[in-house]
A = this chain, B = another copy of it.
Amino acid sequence: MPFAEVSTDIITQFTAIVGNENVIVDAEKRFAYSHDETEDYSFLPDVVLKPTTPEEISAIMRLCNQHHIAVTPRGGGTGLSGGALPIEKGVVISMERFNKIISIDELNLQATVEPGVITEVFQNAVKEKGLFYPPDPASRGSCFIGGNVSENSGGPKAVKYGVTRDYVLNLEVVLPTGDIIWTGANVLKNSTGYNLTQLMCGSEGTLGIITKIVFKLRGLPQKSVLLLMPFVTNEEACKAIAEIFRAGITPSGMEFFEREAAMKTIDYCEKIYAAKVTTQFPENMDAYLLCELDGNDDEVLMRDAERVMAVVENFQAGEILFADSELQKEELWKIRKNISPGVQAYSLNKAEDVVVPRANLPKLIVGIKQIGHRYGFNSVCYGHLGDGNLHINVLKEQMSDEDWNTKVNDGIAEIFSLAVSLGGTLSGEHGIGIAKKPFMNIAMREANLHVMRGIKKAFDPNGILNPGKIF
């Protein structure tokens, strides 16, 4: 059944719900809501709405459900799989006005926030109270915390502290039918019915619209050390990772990047920040690991750092840089966090996000380069290799559009098949959205997809919410 168009009568009703100033019909203004950071996709919605309460969203959903109008919820627009794009047109609900931190409960180590709060704003508010919200996506300066929940974002700290879903205790959600529910309770453990909270995390806005989030917090670690470790080959770097964990050390960051990623990002950073990068990246090296250790005890940290260095000595590694000033640590993290926009600035690319068991990384990274060689594409690899999550930016460079849309996709399918054959899967933290949807059958059997479709139907009987995503 095709979706209905948004008529002027419906617009009038939207206006009655959210007020005139929160209904965007102007085409130029709508355009900003037609794309995110996924390749060059763009889909113009019929109308953009900016509600501020769950009740307003409920009224919108009831109306759209009744008239079979497609609704796409949108956070900060930093998604890398197209999850927030209105591919069936209709309504975009922008969550930008849900931007309040409702409470930070220091006694229970919990916080209640609205989904439109920018992740970094929330991190800093919590930090001011001596507390810690670990998930830290590279886009933290502009992404919304609700988008983080919907895509189950990770970031560098996930290796020690877990991903977004590990911090979500409870969610207020407006269902596609307009019902407003809390998915669970504000508790650390819960065996009371099906875990709707965890089901919502990573469901990419297809099951309901999150309007409040109760997060678990932690105490803030007071100290950290940062090591930049160069390796002669990608494979040697990947091999070292599993051995570091096997030695019983749990770094709070274990980031990998190819030399090419570092070089392109240094160019990019020097341009946008208009400042020279001072860190010297040892030459004649193919890959680097950025290893962070955190805690509250200098001695324990130094002992662990020495143990990491002792492990790395068994591999073909260069001289390790021990970042000893806050300034140098910041510079190294700035480079790491700018790899994605840095590569983006260099060439149109497809950003993949596979994940495998850590010890299978060497086979993965060697295989990816062989596949690229066979299909004729370059790729830049980097990512959170401590938890087995590799980002692969496949570059268009001078490739023809035809090759880009056919040959390259076949190569990417091979990369996914390789990841799955190594016990892994398609996406570690970016989600499926529309960009990875054609590849879902590589990771799942029809029976899985059948169950997922049934779950979707349980929440959204008419299929109006974020249609055409995931499966």
> Which residues from chain A sit less than 8 Å from chain B, CB to CB?
105-110, 130, 151-152, 154, 158-159, 163, 165-166, 175, 177, 179-196, 198-199, 201-203, 207, 219, 242, 245-246, 248, 250, 297, 300, 353, 355-360, 384, 387-389, 420, 423-432, 436, 440, 443-445, 447-455, 457-459, 470-471
Contacts and interface: CB of A to CB of B under 8 A. Distances in A.
A192 B107 contact: no
Nearest to A204: B191
Contacts of A423: 185-187
Nearest to A159: B188
A310 B180 CA distance: 45
Q: How many copies does the complex hold?
A: 2
B431 A191 contact: yes
Contacts of A177: 447
A175 B451 contact: yes
Nearest to A448: B181
A175 B447 contact: yes
Contact of A108 (B188, B194, B358, B425): B358
Given A188-B389, A191-B429, 18 more contacts: A107-B246, A107-B358, A108-B357, A108-B358, A109-B245, A165-B195, A175-B451, A183-B448, A187-B428, A188-B358, A188-B388, A191-B431, A192-B444, A193-B440, A193-B449, A194-B199, A454-B457, A455-B458
Contacts of A186: 357, 423-424
A202 B195 contact: yes
Contact of A201 (B107, B110, B195, B459): B195
B357 A452 contact: no
A152 B193 CA distance: 11
A356 B187 contact: yes
A453 B196 CA distance: 12
A254 to B, nearest CB: 11
24 contacts: A107-B242, A108-B359, A109-B245, A109-B358, A151-B191, A152-B189, A165-B198, A185-B423, A186-B357, A188-B358, A189-B384, A189-B428, A191-B202, A191-B353, A191-B427, A193-B432, A193-B443, A194-B455, A195-B202, A219-B248, A219-B250, A300-B300, A454-B455, A454-B457
B447 A193 contact: no
B429 A355 contact: no
Given A357-B186, A428-B189, A447-B181, A242 B108 contact: yes
Given A458-B457, A459-B454, A387 B448 contact: no
